[in-house]
């Protein structure tokens, strides 16, 4: 008794159409990504530089604020300008929320953003700030900047 095996030229490999469909979906998705959803190397560079400036200036919080008032005002103006740029980008809500934590009033009435709050406390302090206080605030500011940078770096690379 012989068994005949039929071979079909039109036979498909199971899953092949699934993989092909996923590939088409991926190609379609990447083609629909708007430029505002893509990684912005300039934003990364500006944010990194701003983070360094902020932490260096904050380290001077153990000195009198009046000596560094202009530098603080310039830094906050630069930060607010970069924040304004980020708010204009589409689908950038997570980054904008991190900028908001740094620069705007937050949950409780009368509270400031982490960075702006530091400068307000420094300006209103009767004496220079303690090293411990400055270092704790620097950690929080660094973490917020790191989160902004992480979010930006996680975006797809430009075409």
Per-residue pLDDT tens digits for 110-143: 567 899 999 999 999 999 999 999 999 999 999 9
Angle between helices 114-124 and 93-103 (to 10 degrees): 10
Q: Confirm if 125 and 113 have CB atoms less than 8 A apart.
A: no
- Residue-wise pLDDT for 67-114, tens only, equals 999 999 999 999 999 999 999 988 888 999 999 999 986 655 556 789
Q: Give the domains, in start order, of the chain with CATH numbers.
A: 37-153 (1.20.120)
More confident residue, 21 or 134: 134
- pLDDT, residue 108, reads 54
- To 5 degrees, how large is the angle CA 143–CA 144–CA 146? 65
> What band does 23 get if pLDDT is binned at 50, 70 and 90?
very low
- pLDDT, residue 34, reads 46
Average pLDDT over the chain reads 81
Q: Confirm if 139 and 96 have CB atoms less than 8 A apart.
A: no
- pLDDT, residue 150, reads 95
What is this structure's pTM? 0.73
Residue tagged 């302090």 (tokens): 125
Cα(103)–Cα(119) distance, integer angstroms: 11
- Residue-wise pLDDT for 141-154, tens only, equals 999 999 999 999 99
């Amino acid at each position: 008794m012989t068994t005949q095996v039929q071979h079909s030229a039109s036979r498909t490999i199971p899953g092949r159409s699934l993989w092909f469909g996923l590939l088409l979906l991926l190609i379609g998705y990447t083609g629909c990504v708007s430029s505002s959803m893509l990684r912005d190397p300039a934003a990364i560079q500006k944010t990194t530089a701003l983070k360094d400036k902020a932490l260096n200036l904050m380290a001077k919080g153990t000195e009198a604020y009046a000596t560094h008032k202009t530098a603080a005002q310039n830094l906050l103006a630069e930060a607010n300008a970069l924040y304004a740029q980020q708010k204009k980008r589409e689908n950038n809500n997570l980054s904008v929320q991190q900028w908001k934590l740094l620069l705007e009033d937050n949950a409780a009435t009368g509270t400031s953003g982490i960075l702006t709050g530091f400068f307000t406390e420094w300006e209103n302090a009767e004496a220079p700030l303690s090293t411990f206080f400055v270092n704790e605030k620097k950690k929080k500011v660094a973490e917020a900047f790191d989160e902004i940078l992480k979010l930006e770096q996680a975006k797809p690379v430009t075409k």
